[in-house]
Amino acid sequence: MADSRIDIHKPAITPEMRERIEIRSARKVYERSAQAESPSKDFYQLVVTEKGVLLRWWVLTLRHGQKPVPNESVATCEDFPHDAIMLSDIERVFGVEVKEDALRIVRGGELDWLSRLPTSLFINEIAVHLDLTSLFQLGRVSRHFRLLCHSNALWEKLFYVQNVGGVVADEVKELAREVGWKKVYFTNKLKLRMQVARLREKRVSKEEMSAAHHVTFLTENKGGN
């Protein structure tokens, strides 16, 4: 026979508590952390699960010796788009883009994870393996990829990859600082040698001019004494 007695000392689980438990225990699909701007400096964590959204924050301005206790706001996927206070807090701490990411997820959308890769990771692990046609097509996808596919960092990396030895003359680097790595990349070798030669002549001319001015300065001072 089942025991029908009720433990009066054990608090009953309310629907709100059960909802929080379900959201916390559901599979995590998105997470961000950040520190609020001055003067608060509180630490925030945003977690989106398959059941809802959790916004936690730790007050870090407590007296010495006190351990910060996390505060928490929770909303289901259905309620989150209408929770003005939670949305405002997320935008204030994490920015508009993160808020839009969270909204897109709870509404059943998918994120463009490729555009969220760190620039260095995208260049070193993905872009270097694409041919030029693919790179130019990728640059048409969005403003983010347009800027990335025309960036100096990308074309510098591609130029180094093109030069198998990985050794690039200082004059080439100096030329790239003037005209950009993309232009250097597409310059044929003969023309590049000519441009580097002109750059060397220009540098030598400047050095000779500087040396002549230095000699003139010393001569004038010596004559004045």
Report pLDDT for 217. 45
Assess if residue 42 is contained within a domain: yes
Report pLDDT for 2. 47
Assess if residue 128 is contained within a domain: no
Assess if residue 95 is contained within a domain: yes
Q: What is the DSSP letter of 225?
A: -
What distance in Å separates the CA atoms of residue 14 and residue 26, rounded to the nearest whole number?
Answer: 18
What distance in Å separates the CA atoms of residue 183 and residue 120, rounded to the nearest whole number?
Answer: 21
Amino acid at 57: W
Assess if residue 34 is contained within a domain: yes
Assess if residue 187 is contained within a domain: yes
Strand partners for 55: 46, 73
Same domain? For 97 and 173 the reply is no
Same domain? For 99 and 22 the reply is yes
What is the extent of the structural domain holding 88? 15-111
- pLDDT tens across the length of the chain (225 residues): 445 454 555 567 788 888 889 999 998 988 999 988 877 778 999 999 989 999 999 887 656 666 777 899 999 999 999 999 999 999 999 999 899 989 988 888 766 667 777 888 889 899 989 999 999 998 888 888 888 999 999 999 998 888 766 667 787 888 888 888 898 888 876 666 676 666 666 665 555 555 545 445 445 555 555
Q: What is the DSSP string of 78-137?
A: TTGGG-HHHHHHHHHHH-HHHHHHHHHHHTT----TGGGS-HHHHHHHTGGGS-HHHHHH
CB 67 within 8 A of CB 142: no
Same domain? For 88 and 21 the reply is yes
Question: In which residue are the tokens 């996390």 written?
Answer: 70
Report pLDDT for 89. 94
Same domain? For 107 and 180 the reply is no
Assess if residue 36 is contained within a domain: yes
Assess if residue 52 is contained within a domain: yes
Last residue of a domain, one of 78, 111, 144: 111
What distance in Å separates the CA atoms of residue 142 and residue 147, rounded to the nearest whole number?
Answer: 9
Assess if residue 82 is contained within a domain: yes
Report pLDDT for 199. 66
Tokens of 19: 């909802």
What distance in Å separates the CA atoms of residue 161 and residue 125, rounded to the nearest whole number?
Answer: 12
Question: What's the domain count of the chain?
Answer: 2
What distance in Å separates the CA atoms of residue 116 and residue 122, rounded to the nearest whole number?
Answer: 9
Same domain? For 106 and 35 the reply is yes
Same domain? For 103 and 20 the reply is yes
73 phi, psi to nearest 5 deg: -115, 140
Confidence (pTM):
0.51
Nearest Cα to 195, choosing from 187, 185, 186?
A: 187
Q: What is the DSSP letter of 38?
A: T
